[in-house]
Structure 1
């Protein structure tokens, strides 16, 4: 669970105390500092990465609105004010919420949840955009070669090397076990020396798998059940 680092800015001690208590009551809020004026806020923002700023408007020397206008990369701002007339200007500055004093912890939580949901939606979008790899790069003969997963027919162990049988045979220095960990689930080990791409499997005859009419590979006794189970899962 993400913990949101918070900063309070209010010149009234009682108002700061209320906000501090509210922050303590919510487990995913971490209060970094409680400031009396805008200049203390600017100093804290230089020292810490803040997720949420609870910002009062009427503060000495520099108001909350004026402070907000000076910030080039502000955190999520929740305004806390006794004056409603600044609400439109606050939202024009892209604040998350505007809490009118006095406010309950329920109203405070509603504002915090807007930030929490905003973060959750961003994480979902990032996950959606993340594409599944379709290829791998390997070192071979002083070169780095890109191999598409769907072009690999099978892999053969060769000491501390593996032979990758694709459009051509590629030799790279790593064990079969290590190489298999980098491949998608449709690659399965069928023998201590062989692993195949299930998409290329034509048939099973006894203890042999047919990769093509001219390519037959042995199935190890301890690997056959795993192979059959994997095939049955794909049939379903």
Structure 2
């Protein structure tokens, strides 16, 4: 498998050096280079990223502070010239801490650790956790009716109630198991087995009416066509 990664570093020469290291590894796929945390955040929202090489000392937002701000994090390997931040980095569950200048041997050791995590095949999870004001809430996939996104927040609707957390609809989509959930609108993801009816541009799920956009209608029709009773 390819591990999709980004490089986040404010120094152009450091980014170039990291790019050369990444391109030498067949299982790494470089998606983007970012010069600051704001650029990296845009990529993480728009793309599925498995691994982030993150510098610490950057203008405006330090790498450590950026990492703390993320609700959904890829695997992270810190790349820095400052070894004194190692403890703080590992407290944030980073995969590894590489001190510049980074040798090819040390880089290979680090990314092989990442590959080992991705090639392990644990039993698929049947739930997710979201961060709430009181800690963390466990929500079973089977309970989810649909997920509604609004700017940087999502609301997960279940038969028992609804739960709001700080996250993007894109990050929620990446977290969900494939085949069980369907994006039907820029702001909505529905559980496929909870769709009760579809008419016009609306889905019925429980007591809720959910809009379907033109861009996502074809995927919904494919699902219905697969399960349609015919003459």
Query: So what's the TM-score if we normalise by structure 2?
Result: 0.53
Matches within 5 A, 1:31-110: 31-110=30-109
C-alpha separation in 2, matches of 1:74 and 1:117? 18
Matched with 1:21 is 20
Bigger radius of gyration among the two: 1
Matches within 5 A, 1:183-194: none
Instruction: Give 1:105 deviation, angstroms.
Output: 1.1
The SS at the match of 1:126 is coil
C-alpha separation in 1, matches of 2:21 and 2:90? 23
Point out where structure 1 has 5 or more consecutive residues left out of the alignment: 128-236
C-alpha separation in 1, matches of 2:20 and 2:36? 19
Instruction: Give 1:126 deviation, angstroms.
Output: 2.8
The SS at the match of 2:123 is helix
**Is 1:126 aligned to 2:123, yes or no?**
yes
**Structure 1 residues 121-179: Cα deviation after superposition (integer angstroms, max 9, x where no partner):** 2x1x339xxxxxxxxxxxxxxxxxxxxxxxxxxxxxxxxxxxxxxxxxxxxxxxxxxxx
Matched with 1:115 is 114
The SS at the match of 2:10 is coil
C-alpha separation in 2, matches of 1:104 and 1:13? 18
Matched with 2:151 is none
Matched with 2:188 is none
C-alpha separation in 2, matches of 1:120 and 1:44? 24
RMSD of the TM alignment (CA)?
1.0
**Is 1:11 aligned to 2:10, yes or no?**
yes
Query: So what's the TM-score if we normalise by structure 1?
Result: 0.52
Runs of 4+ in structure 1 displaced over 4 angstroms? none
**Structure 1 residues 73-107: Cα deviation after superposition (integer angstroms, max 9, x where no partner):** 10000000000111000000000000000011111
